[in-house]
Amino acid sequence: MSEAIISDWRLLELTLDEIGPFRNGPETISFLGDTPALEMADQPPGPANLYMLLARNGRGKTTALEAMHGLFGLLASPPTGRFVDPRAEGRAQLDVRATWTIDGRTSTVLLSIWTGSASPLASWSPDRLEEEAQASQWARLGLARGPGTVVPTDDSNELGLILYRSIKEGAGRLSTEMFGNAPDLPTILLFPADRMLLAPTDRRTVERPDNWIYQPAQRFGVDGETWNGSIENLLVWLAWLGEGELEQAIAFINENMFDRDKVLRPPSRRELTTYVSTPTGNHQVSALSHGERALLQIYLRTIAHMTRNTVILIDEVELHLHTRWTHRMFSVLKALVRSMPTLSLIFTTHDRELIKMFDHPTPEAGLVKGGFLITEDMD
Amino acid sequence: MPKLSSIVDTEELDNLYADKAIVYVEGESDEAVFTVLAGPDIGDRLEFKVPKTGGSGYHAVRDRVLEERGRGNAKIHGLLDGEASASFGHILHLIENRETLFQTTDPALEGLIFLSETELENLILCHAGVAEFLTNNVTLAGIGGQDLEAHRSDLVSLSQRFYLLAMMKFAAGELHRTGMPCKQVDKLAGRFQTTESTLKITREIKASIEKDGGDWNAFVTKLNELMGRVRERFTDDGTRPPPKERQVRRLADGKGLLKRVIGKNNGQRNWEGHLVERLRQSPYAADFRQALLHETGA
């Protein structure tokens, strides 16, 4: 059986119809960049790796993020996200340009993954495929939802099914490395606006965290209610593995999160608890401020769960954060995007200062900036 | 749904995202005063801004408003001194206006709102009770020692002087737009701060215009035409202050007049802050706010 090895992964378009506020016929959000990276200033920007989605409340930006997560969530084991319910309304299609190697042959493919209809919402003619997607083949993967099942639709083709099988086989596989070093399969990490980091209340034990596996889509909302889904368990597990990941993770957090006044320490093996050293003593992670916990959640979940082909979705990126911390986190995320050629970040914000700081017309090294403003007159 | 590539800069994006009336003004002091006058509870509907690009002055505001409105954001406006309408060729509109704020029907000025007064300083001179302020601006020992009527009378007299200056500037501006070089009034405007008679200053302006090859008669004709249009509004309607005093102070050269009033009374520039506070407490502030919300549709 053929298996796809993916070496590039870029979102091109999201098309939504009859979902949330998208009610006036299919609406398409393009993820092509608006501003090329500084070093590529004389070339068309191509797909964005740093993308800002703006809208007033209730205009559909959260819907768009959840739709992207939900489409790949249908491939997860078990399926997850907004489309899992067979009664979920509407149609959605995500178009991704990917470079695949199948049976030793590498090609650039446009993958359309959709749900809610038998056929794709948006079609790619050969001309469009070549000019807009710069792809040589169109992989189609429609996903039909039934009670407890997700199956490819008849309009899917063999290329789409190869990806389907690859992801299904990979889903659930144990993670082994951090910072996107494994595996090749794509993943979408969603940080919704209702995210928060709680202290686990159940018994602490040394056991593998539930989500320390490959999944094509993961959501980090209320994080840590249970020990098996908590960041503290993740840190304990990394300490237990003793393969260096814990030291990398802690160094990353301390470098990017604290102003030297605080230091995240390795977990106490005796207590299975992680402490932060502060000028006033050692405090548990759960005693950090809301803002610090928000940063910790995004930083740690990102570096722990990203694969080589990752799209990070952050709804209301400034949530819980003082404006200085928002800017600092944004700088860290930009650095992460720069350092990982196949990482993309899509975020929403209501922070007008951050919108200005994003500075969409100004090229920056390693960043292809793009964005979209969902307005009332969606025509 | 716009892609960001269709949005020229971060300011335009910010305005589109804010999705409320954006009112560009000339400078930060205008922004501060108008914000005070409009009151603290309109932030969800309206916001003042100074253009970050395109230079300064009336033209920067006009260009920015036209640019953003041209790309489809009808919530973009500009709020300028009344004299800006004159510089854009609408002096008669300024003279004849009876509203708190006004717009012209000129498509090239779409979105621009003008004060009914020549400058922001005229708002203070017309509505902040300057004579009362001067009467009360005394030490404990000086209370009762100031003559309110004397201050009012002085203000009327000084207003006439700086009204003449403003009308000369407007006349010069009108002629300048027809191609006649007429910068002499601006060059000699500082003379109105002295104690020289207006007759003597007028003679100096005449000499300067003729020396530069200008047409003094054309200047006088235009000046008389404009002042005649203002005089048509002098009909006594029984209101206080009388229409003549009101129109003269509204259309006077506000910066020059306020500077002279402060200087003559040994005041400091920081009096302006106190006077703006009096303006905020005056009935004009409510009129301004209502007119602004009406004109912007906010």
d(CA A162, CA A165): 5
Is A270 inside a domain boundary? Answer: no
A-proximal residues of B, 5-34, CB under 8 Å: 5, 7-10, 13-14, 16-19
pLDDT for A181:
62
pLDDT for the residue A188 = 96
**What is the side-by-side strand order in the sheet with B101-102?**
B46-49, B21-24, B76-80, B112-115, B101-102
Pairing of strands A91-102, A105-115: antiparallel
Please report whether residue A269 resides in a domain: no
Lookup result for tokens 């119809």: A17
Contact A302, A336 (CB under 8 A): yes
CB B5 to CB A34 under 8 A?
yes
Cross-chain Cβ contact B4/A52 below 8 Å: yes
Contacts of A215 (CB under 8 A, 6+ apart): A76, A77, A80, A171, A172, A187
Cβ atoms A351, A322 nearer than 8 A: no
Q: Is residue A231 part of a domain?
A: no
Whether the CB-CB separation of B181 and B212 falls below 8 Å is answered with: yes
Distance CA A83, CA A163 (A): 19
Using CB atoms, pick whichever of A27, A30, A378 lies closest to residue B3: A30
Round the average pLDDT of chain B to a whole number and report it. Answer: 93
pLDDT at position A379, please? 34
Measured CA to CA, the distance from residue A217 to residue A213 in angstroms comes to 11
Q: Using a CB-CB distance cutoff of 8 angstroms, which residues of chain B are in contact with residue A359?
A: 10
Q: Which of A27, A360, A379 sits opposite B10 (nearest CB)?
A: A360
Mutate to test the interface with B, among A352, A357, A374, A378 (most CBs of B within 10 A): A352
Nearest to A58 by CA among A17, A24, A20: A20
Instruction: Find the domain containing A78 and state its range.
Output: 4-202+216-224+310-374
pLDDT at B48 over 80: yes
Helix, strand, or coil here: A123?
coil
How does pLDDT run along chain A (379 residues), one tens digit per residue? 566 788 889 999 999 999 999 999 999 999 999 888 998 888 888 899 999 999 989 999 999 999 999 999 999 999 999 999 888 889 999 999 999 888 888 999 999 999 999 999 999 999 999 999 999 999 999 999 888 789 999 999 999 999 999 898 888 877 767 766 666 889 999 999 999 888 888 889 999 998 888 999 999 999 888 999 999 999 999 999 888 889 999 999 999 888 788 999 999 989 999 999 999 999 999 889 888 998 999 999 999 999 889 999 999 999 989 898 899 899 999 999 998 888 999 999 999 999 999 999 999 999 999 999 998 653 3
Rounded distance between C-alpha atoms, residue A341 and residue A174, angstroms? 23
Considering the domain boundaries, does residue A364 fall inside one?
yes
CB pairs under 8 A between A and B: 56
The larger pLDDT score, comparing residue A149 to residue B36, is at B36
Least confident of A167-171, B253-257, B292-296: A167-171
A116 SS3 class: coil
Question: Nearest Cβ partner of B1 from A358, A360, A373?
Answer: A373
Please report whether residue A358 resides in a domain: yes
Helices B243-251 and B216-231 cross at an angle (nearest 10°) of 130
Indicate whether A263 belongs to any domain.
no
Burial B88-110 (b: 16+ CB within 10 A, else e): bebbebbbebeebbbbbeeeebb
The count of other CB atoms within 10 Å of the CB of residue A133 is 24
* Cα angle value B206/B207/B211 (rounded, 5°): 120
Residue A294 belongs to some domain of the structure:
no
- B74 at interface of A, judged by CB pairs closer than 8 A: no
pLDDT of residue B155: 95
- Domain limits of chain B? 4-116+289-296, 129-267
- How large is the ipTM? 0.84
Q: Which residues of A touch B10 (CB under 8 A)?
A: 355-356, 358-361
pLDDT of residue B141: 80
CB neighbour list of residue A31: distance below 8 Å, 6 or more residues apart: A10, A11, A12, A13, A14, A47, A48, A51, A344, A346, A370
Are B4 and A378 inside 8 Å of each other by CB?
no
Average the pLDDT over B245-269 and give the result: 94
Tens digits of residue pLDDT in B92-119: 999 999 999 999 999 999 999 999 999 9
Minimum-distance CB partner of A372 among B3, B8, B14: B3
Q: Do A352 and B18 touch (CB under 8 A)?
A: yes
Q: Is residue A292 part of a domain?
A: no
CB contact under 8 A, B4 and A56: no
Q: pLDDT over 70 for what percent of chain B?
A: 100
Give the total number of structural domains in chain A: 1
Task: Kindly tell me the burial class for residue A256, based on how many C-beta atoms sit within 10 Å of its own C-beta (0-12, 13-18, 19 or more).
Answer: middle
Given an 8 Å threshold on Cβ–Cβ distance, is B14 in contact with A355? yes
For the stretch B179-182, contacts whose Cβ atoms lie closer than 8 Å and that sit 24 or more positions apart, written own/partner, are B180/B214, B180/B215, B180/B218, B181/B212, B181/B213, B181/B214, B182/B209, B182/B214, B182/B219
